[in-house]
Chains A and B, each alone.
Chain A
Amino acid sequence: DAKTTQPNSMESNEEEPVHLPCNHSTISGTDYIHWYRQLPSQGPEYVIHGLTSNVNNRMASLAIAEDRKSSTLILHRATLRDAAVYYCILRDRGSGGGADGLTFGKGTHLIIQP
């Protein structure tokens, strides 16, 4: 899987929007962009994924740059419960049909201030 780069940590205030960036300058045309998060002492949790177009779901929005070399996970109104490590992961749909194991990096540790 191609490499991603994320800030080590970010801080935000409760009830404000949060924009978590991810750079993936070596992304290939068949790579999907996935986001997962891991709350303290819990298993990872799927957040969202996309290929080219921006995506929205009940948890978050994913904004993908036109050249696909970067993306941003948007939490529209952060709560204390959103404090977690957020991982940006590329998955090649070509090999294995997008079924390969996930390669987790260090992620971004999101701190939410009350």
Chain B
Amino acid sequence: NAGVMQNPRHLVRRRGQEARLRCSPMKGHSHVYWYRQLPEEGLKFMVYLQKENIIDESGMPKERFSAEFPKEGPSILRIQQVVRGDSAAYFCASSPRLAGGQSYEQYFGPGTRLTVT
């Protein structure tokens, strides 16, 4: 049973380029979350998506960042015109479809480490 997959594991971009991070959730999971961990800092929630819908993007920077989870294929986190401050580890997590009144665990991928030079 494959876990959450992220690729690439390491990504190097020059300032001004675009970064695309991919996440394939666990089989049967329909909820995807993206988190960012800046060097020497804690994990911060960015965005929560279901298939073809953004449910909560309250943690997403207003500019240059976007996320999608299409009907087919992986979830994508896109960072346009990257800057050095975007260098961080980006983690994706997934959880199963919910039943009412429950609280479900999230399963995390290994992360993509983005370095902006």
Contacts and interface: CB of A to CB of B under 8 A. Distances in A.
A42 to B, nearest CB: 7
Given A44-B108, A46-B105, A101 B42 contact: no
Interface in B43-102: 43-48, 55-56, 59, 91, 93, 95, 98, 100-102
A44 B4 CA distance: 12
Given A43-B108, A44-B43, A49-B105, A97 B56 contact: no
Contact of B91 (A44, A51, A98, A105): A44
Contacts of B106: 44, 46, 102
Given A34-B103, A98-B98, A101-B47, 15 more contacts: A34-B105, A42-B111, A43-B4, A43-B108, A43-B110, A44-B91, A96-B55, A98-B102, A100-B56, A101-B45, A102-B33, A102-B43, A102-B45, A102-B93, A104-B42
Q: Which 8 A-B pairs have the closest CB atoms?
A: A98-B103, A101-B45, A43-B108, A32-B103, A46-B105, A104-B43, A93-B103, A97-B98
Interface of B: 4, 31, 33, 35, 42-48, 55-56, 59, 91, 93, 95, 98, 100-111
